[in-house]
Each structure stands twice: as structure tokens, then as C-alpha cells.
Amino acid sequence: MDGKIYRLPEAVINQIAAGEVVENPASIVKELIENSLDAGATSIRVEIVSGGQQLIRIEDDGCGMGREDAVLSLERHATSKIRAVEDLSTLMTMGFRGEALAAIAAVSQFELKTKGEGEAVRVVASGGQLVTVEPCARNRGTTIEVRSLFFNVPARKKFQKSPSTNGTQVARVMETIALAHPEVAFSLVSAGKQVFEVEPADWKKRIEAFLEPHLHELEFEKGGIRVWGTVAAPLKAGATRSGQYLFINRRPIFSPLIARAVKEGFGTRIGEHAYPPFVLFLEMPSTLVDVNVHPQKKEVRFQEDAAMFQCVQEAVGSLFVSIPSFAEPLAFTPPPLSFAFAEQVLARRSTEQFQEVPLPIVFSERVVTVFGPYLLLEKEGLFCVDLRAAHARILFETLSQKKRVAEPLLWPLEVAVEGAEEETVHALSEMGIECRVVGRKRLAIDALPSFLDAASFAQFFSGWKEGKQLKMVTLEYCQGLKKRYSLTEAHGLWRRLQECEDRTYDPLGRPIWSEVKESDFAGIIRGGK
Ligand code: ADP
Ligand code: MG
């Protein structure tokens, strides 16, 4: 019973193989763009109709092909990119299998127009069968048209998604590639409408062209691995990975390991189930990574997972090192006593008795302790300093005088304004608050003078917006902080207060500190005045 086995015709082999490379219009667009990039194109234009099912046209200004190569390129395992297995380890191109064009041509009405060194040539194929090879007119570069996708594979055609879904996927694939190749111009037209068009740019501009701003830049290098890109503010962390773009040696890669490392880099700044958006580029010698595991699955194998993880975590973590440390965690925990004592002392601030204290005192004082928002100092007597009042004085002088140093924020703050954006920016800059308009009724704050804390800036800003006087705004803001100060903070405030023009009164003219008398203690212990 011989004759059961027979060799499949080439066209059938190609159709079967096509299933692997050519799933949908997006995967075709990806292959074709990669070919254009491999050909050194500086401009790649894609047009699709019906999400690509009716037509995918891609035009590039790359090196093109001669007549012979153009015909050969449609054959399976025909490639100009490798000659021998050894070439794989030093591969610089995106493709190398020589499968894509054959697979695409096998399931479509295919037309290739190309011009390299010699004459331009037009090659037409239908379902993988060569139909025409003829001279044509074209500038250097290549144009490929793929029509009636899957016309000869009804089963596959039936399972295609809707044109709009396919169109979205094509756009997403193109955007991703465009992010990794900022030096190349890309354009996508779908159903006659321009979806996007980007000019050659640097990587920062290219990211801005596609993604929301408020991202932060990162450039890092360690052990032969270069990491650069942008990471969103912790607040922007989303519930899915959809905002995460990773490229290794310019290829889009999906790597749970790297995604996890980025998250770890954020430390406890984001929740367990939050995913920080990022666009990260990793560049490393090909000895450290194998990206050719499978052409469709965007997986990689690292030579050393742990080293890679640590490098990325450190790169992201380095972003946070320069956060202004005014809001540092408590270095000193006050004993669990009530604040009644200090409150009582300061309640006397407006009394006659207080006014008699000789002012100003030159302090070469000893810090006794920090007690909630109060600092106790000893210097020929005991003094109680209201740190919030001191804070308000410092802030008031910093904002109202021209001497100020704004500290850049790691993450710009976004605030809403009721219009008059430019005027607001001007008024804020007068106080040394660096900001800019980012949209209608929206400002981004880039740098704040010290003693104005990013975390509580909103409170300050809402008071200021209401048009209150600066002295009221600073006082209310500092009172509203209601925080306990650490020893370091208290000491910092006290030292800075000594540089103020007025070291004695808060912006409303109430004393910042007062001497504590022996009789105060007696009063506290006996439960009265
Ligand atoms: P691979 O990219 O793996 O080599 P393909 O089937 O995608 O295989 O392409 C086959 C060959 O056709 C490539 O090796 C290249 O020489 C040539 N080619 C394909 N597209 C282009 C293009 N846009 N410009 C110039 N040459 C191309
Ligand atoms: Mg290819």
C-alpha cells in the first residue's frame, strides 16, 4: 500500500508555514517594517484599508533590491542577512529567517516594487505563485502591497478580527517600533485618514509624540548595560501593564523579570498591584542576551537574570535618591505625653509677661528635645519654640523676598487653575515657584523653594488661589501641616530661622518662641495656673 506519502507542493508548505509568521495584519506590518529598517530606511509610510484585510501598503526609502533578489525574496528561506549559523550570534538585523515575504505572499495578492542599484522591478504574485516580473518606475526604495489577505485560506479569513480592531493593532505595533527608532520617520494612514505621522527626532521627543507627558527621564549605566528612557510618576501607576514599553537592543520585548525590577525600583511608592508606566531601552552586548528565541513571541533569555534584575532596579531606584528630604521620616519619636505643656507655654505668647523677654536672644543653645511641633532649647533658661510658627516665618520670607533657591521636584506636580494660566505662572514664579502651563487650566510645578513641601503643596496652593495674603497663606499652611518634626527637621528650621530678617515673630506678628519659667512647671504639676 505505497503511495500514501507524497511531498507537499511548495505553495502548500508556504501556506502552512505562513500561519506562524502571519497571524493578522499587525504581524504583517511588523515584518514588513522590520525589513524596511533592515534595509536602512529613513522614512517608512504605511497605509491600510479595512484594518489591513483589503490592503496593506508599505513604502520605504531603503536600499531596495535588484531584479534577481526581488524574485528570490519571495522564496522561503531566502535571506540576505545570514549565510551561516555562526552569523546568528553577531546578528544586527531584525529578520534573518527569510520567511516573512514568502509567508505573506502565500496568503495574499502580493505586489513588490523595488529599486536598488539597477533598474526598478515589479514583481506580482497571487497566493504565492509568481505572476509577473517586469521593469517599472520607482525611486530608490521598496513598496510592497498586500491585498485580499487570506483570500485563499477561508478558515483563517473567517477568524480575523473586525477592521477596527485590526487597525488599532496595526497602529499599536507601529507606535512600538517607532518608539525604538526615533531617527526614522513613520506615517500611518488608515482608510484614507492619517493616524499619525512622526518626523525623525531624538528618543525623548519621540516618546512625547506618542505618550502622555509627566514622565521622568532616566539614564544609567552599569556593567556594560545601558538603561535609558522615561518612567511615570508613582501616582500614575495603573492596574494593567498596558503603559509599559520595554526594548532590548531596540527590539520590543515582553519581560516579566524586567517589569518586576522596575516595580521594585519604585520601592514602596506604589502598591502591590499597581503597574508603573514606562518606556525603557536596554542596550547590552549580545553575549548577555538572546533575543532570537522566537520571532513572534517577544521573549528573551538573559545570561544572568539576577544581574539584569538588579541593574534595572537600581536604575529606577536612582531616580528617587534626589528627592528633597525635608519630609524625611521621623528620626526621633517623642515620648507619648500630651502636648499640654508646650501649648500652655505658648498660650502666654501674647501676654504682657512675654513681651518683657529681651529680644533677640543670641542662641548658642542646646537642643533639649523635640516635642511634637515644639522644640525645647536650653540657654540660660529653657525656651519653647513653636516650629510651625518658625516654619511659617521662614516660608514667608523665602516666598516674599527675592532670595530663594527652588529645588527641582523629581515628579512635577499638576495643579488646576481657574483660567488665566499665564498670569498664574507669572505670579508663582515671582515667589520662586517654577512652573509652566501644560494644558487648559492646568499647570505643572517643576521646582519649589525649600520649606514648601511637594506632598502638601496642594494645601498651600488652594489658600493662595483664594487670593489670601501671603502671610495668612503661609501661616495656615504651616499650621495645617500638623506634623511632628524630627530632631533633624527641628534643628534645620531653627538654624534657618536665624537667617531670617525677623527671627522672633511669625508672619502675623505673634511670637515664635517663649521662655519657659519654673512656675510653668509648678502649674502643670498641680493642674492649674
Ligand atoms: P528576512 O528579513 O528574515 O531576511 P524576509 O522574507 O522578511 O526575510 O525578507 C527576505 C529578503 O528580502 C531580505 O533578507 C532582504 O534581502 C529582502 N527585503 C525584504 N524587504 C526589503 C525591503 N523593504 N528593502 C530591501 N530589501 C528587502
Ligand atoms: Mg524580514
For ligand 1, what atom is nearest to the CA of residue 34? 2
When the pLDDT of each residue in the chain is averaged and rounded to a whole number, the result is 82
Q: Is the pLDDT of residue 363 over 60?
A: no
What does the pLDDT read at residue 351?
Answer: 43
Q: Which of 44-58, 264-278, 441-455 has the lowest mean pLDDT?
A: 264-278
Q: Is the pLDDT of residue 529 over 70?
A: no
What does the pLDDT read at residue 38?
Answer: 93
What does the pLDDT read at residue 387?
Answer: 93
Decide whether any atom of ligand 1 lies within 6 Å of the 101 Cβ. Answer: yes
CA 37 to ligand 1 center in whole angstroms: 10
User: Is 248 in contact with 284 (CB distance < 8 Å)?
Assistant: yes
Q: Taking CA 448 as the corner, what is the angle to CA 207 and CA 479, rounded to the nearest 5 degrees? A: 135
For ligand 1, what atom is nearest to the CA of residue 101? 6
What does the pLDDT read at residue 202?
Answer: 92
Q: Is the pLDDT of residue 445 over 80?
A: yes
Which residue did the predictor score with more confidence, 15 or 476? Answer: 476
* Res. 150 pLDDT band, cuts 50 70 90: very high
What does the pLDDT read at residue 325?
Answer: 36
The set of residues, in sequence order, having a beta carbon less than 8 Å from that of 229 and lying 6+ positions away, is 203, 207, 217, 218, 278, 279, 280, 281
Decide whether any atom of ligand 1 lies within 6 Å of the 98 Cβ. Answer: yes
What does the pLDDT read at residue 35?
Answer: 94
Q: Is the pLDDT of residue 366 over 80?
A: no
User: Is 500 in contact with 393 (CB distance < 8 Å)?
Assistant: yes
Q: Which of 175-184, 223-232, 315-324, 444-453 has the lowest mean pLDDT?
A: 315-324
CA 79 to ligand 1 center in whole angstroms: 6
DSSP 82: -
0.75 surpassed by pTM = no
Q: How far apart are CA 469 and CA 228, in angstroms?
A: 44
* Res. 515 pLDDT band, cuts 50 70 90: confident
Q: Which of 170-174, 202-206, 417-421 has the lowest mean pLDDT?
A: 417-421
Give the number of other CB atoms < 10 A from CB of residue 223.
Answer: 11
**Which residues, in sequence order, are bridge partners of residue 112?**
123, 144
**Which residues, in sequence order, are bridge partners of residue 45?**
59, 187
Which residue, judged by its Cα, is nearest atom 26 of ligand 1?
64
Average pLDDT over residues 132-161: 91
What does the pLDDT read at residue 232?
Answer: 77
Q: Which of 101, 117, 251 to mutate to test the pocket of ligand 1 (most atoms within 8 A of CB)?
A: 101
Residue 61 φ then ψ, to 5°: -115, 35
Decide whether any atom of ligand 1 lies within 6 Å of the 434 Cβ. Answer: no
Q: Taking CA 160 as the corner, what is the angle to CA 20 and CA 95, rounded to the nearest 5 degrees? A: 30
